[in-house]
Amino acid sequence: MDATYLFAKNFAGINYQDLPADVIEATKLQVLDFLGVALAGVSKDGVTEITELAVEWGGAPQSSIFSWGQKIPAPNAAQVNATMAHALDYDDVHEAAVMHPGVVTLPTALAMAEYVGGISGKEFIAAIALGSDLICRLGLATRPGQSIHQFGWHLTSLYGYMTAAAVAGRMLGLDEEGIVNAIGIGYHQSAGNGQCVKDGALTKRMGPGLAVKGGITAALMAQKGITGAKNCLEGVAGMYKVYHQGSYSRENLVGELGSRFESVNVSIKPYPCCRGVHPFIDAALALVKENQIEAKDVERIMIWCGEGTYGLLGAPLEIKAKPRNYVDSQFSVPWGVAVAVARQRAAIDDFTEAAIKSSDILDVAGKINIEIDPSMNRGDEIEPARVMITLKDGKAYTKQVDLPTGTPSNPLTFVDVERKFQDCITHPERRIPEVNARQLVELVTKLEEVNDVRDLIKLIVWD
């Protein structure tokens, strides 16, 4: 039996009471984190333009655009909201699966909660937990032991279509057959590549939005009776055969399905940039704080990383140390280290169009070199970081970080995530009213008690 059927059975049959307590708490963290990063990205480049297009297209007033509040067709609203949340590259991540689950599951679930109406907090949590589990398992199963970056796929987008289809199908009340069809229709659209990262293109932040738009459309098509491929994961022309030449692990895909949920292995980001940069920022911050290093005293900085990190985030150095645009800065180990040394932090304001022209960061970045250390290769896992700072007086300090802050073994607490939320909502020009923000946090803390998730949505749109 194709794994598609097993996932559809999960989506149709598992309820809130079947979820372990740690999965419920992890999902609530995802919700608060998503809302913060989405509200922070409301007016970023690319987001403004896709919002304008969606409003121009118009259509049935089904679901709301965050912050602005215009009601448009559910697929289009979810597209805009997902783009907001991915704009800063600050959204949650599953490191081993190499993807961002929340930016697919949350905008889908919120748009559908408004479209369907009467969705309880418990049902909302269940749909998100099942969606996170699906998309993470799809990534975990892909080319086990290999770095996915070399094959060019952006897995969040690629698997986002099928995941959004399943989440939307669940919230529409589709049965197993309907969800299988929805996933199959989602598969027919599946796409997403990493060339946008290489070229510093805004399409990087557009991928999840395209996926959720396609996924919701797939579920609505299935509801109308349109059929999709049934064996779309393991069939002779299924995802793993067509997209990955048959290289996948069925155990990673469906092992302990229904009893083990990957939500508990999702990391919340403390810094607004690619997750692979985070261990290097952690290392650099530790060095400057533990040794009271000031940027003016630095002679040179040496960085060592694995081959996967180097190819995506370390080369070419002339671009990574002097970004062409802020997308480049979000995907640069040298830039992340330079920010940490120059400003002893790594915040939203350090990965902007203004920041990449800042002399304090550029001066430090110009002192950086980066090399591959084969011993740091980790295949399909996040790779460690090693940073050495040499001062003008000849003293040298080295730090290695194997797992960055925010991983399940070193997690952010709810208080940490609330602090990140409060910081996020101070950055956009269009800020959520303080009373709304306070009530929003309160609702998320007791999300399982909410009778209708539209009560939460009302707080993230305002006049």
DSSP string, 368-428: EEEEE-GGG--TTSPPPEEEEEEETTS-EEEEEESS-TTSTTSPPPHHHHHHHHHHHTTSS
In angstroms, the CA 387 to CA 344 distance is 15
Q: Is the dihedral of CA 291, 296, 298, 304 positive or negative?
A: positive
Helix spans in 269-344 (H): 278-290, 307-309, 317-320, 326-330, 333-343
- Map 212-267 to HEC letters: HHHHHHHHHHHHCCCCCCCCCCCCCCCHHHHHHCCCECHHHHHCCCCCCCHHHHCE
Tens digits of per-residue pLDDT, 389-414?
999 999 999 999 999 999 998 999 99
Whether omega for the bond prior to residue 316 falls within 30 degrees of 0, making it cis, is yes
Q: How far is CA 28 from CA 106, 134, 311, 442, in A?
A: 11, 17, 34, 11
Report the pLDDT value the prediction gives residue 342, as an integer from 0 to 100.
98
How confident is the model over 168-205, as pLDDT tens digits? 999 999 999 999 999 999 999 999 999 998 899 999 99
Note the pLDDT tens digit of each residue in 98-134.
Answer: 999 999 999 999 999 999 999 999 999 999 999 999 9
Q: Is the pLDDT of residue 319 over 80?
A: yes
Q: Would the pLDDT of 380 be above 70? A: no
Neighbours of 374 (CB within 10 A): 7
Residue 147 pLDDT greater than 90, yes or no: no
Task: Look at residue 463 in the predicted model and tell me its pLDDT.
Answer: 76
Q: Which domains, from first to last, does the chain contain?
A: 3-270+410-460 (1.10.4100.10), 275-401 (3.30.1330.120)
β-strand 71-72 against 63-64: which pairing, if any? antiparallel
**CB 294: neighbour CB atoms within 10 A?**
11
pLDDT digits (tens, 9 = 90+) for 227-245: 999 999 999 999 999 999 9
Give me the mean pLDDT over the 428-449 stretch: 96
Q: What is the pLDDT of residue 378?
A: 85
Q: What pLDDT is attached to residue 130?
A: 98
Weakest mean pLDDT among 25-39, 200-214, 220-234, 378-392: 378-392
Question: Quick one: DSSP state of residue 446?
Answer: T
Which pTM value belongs to this model? Answer: 0.93
DSSP code at position 310: I
- The more confidently predicted of residues 256 and 148 is 256
In the predicted structure, residue 381 carries a pLDDT above the cut 80: no
The two beta strands, 298-305 and 368-372, are parallel
pLDDT digits (tens, 9 = 90+) for 65-107: 999 999 999 999 999 999 999 999 999 999 999 999 999 999 9
Q: Is the dihedral of CA 427, 430, 435, 437 positive or negative?
A: negative
Average pLDDT of the chain to the nearest whole number:
96
* Residues above pLDDT 90, as percent of the chain: 94
At residue 100, φ and ψ (nearest 5 deg) are -110, 95
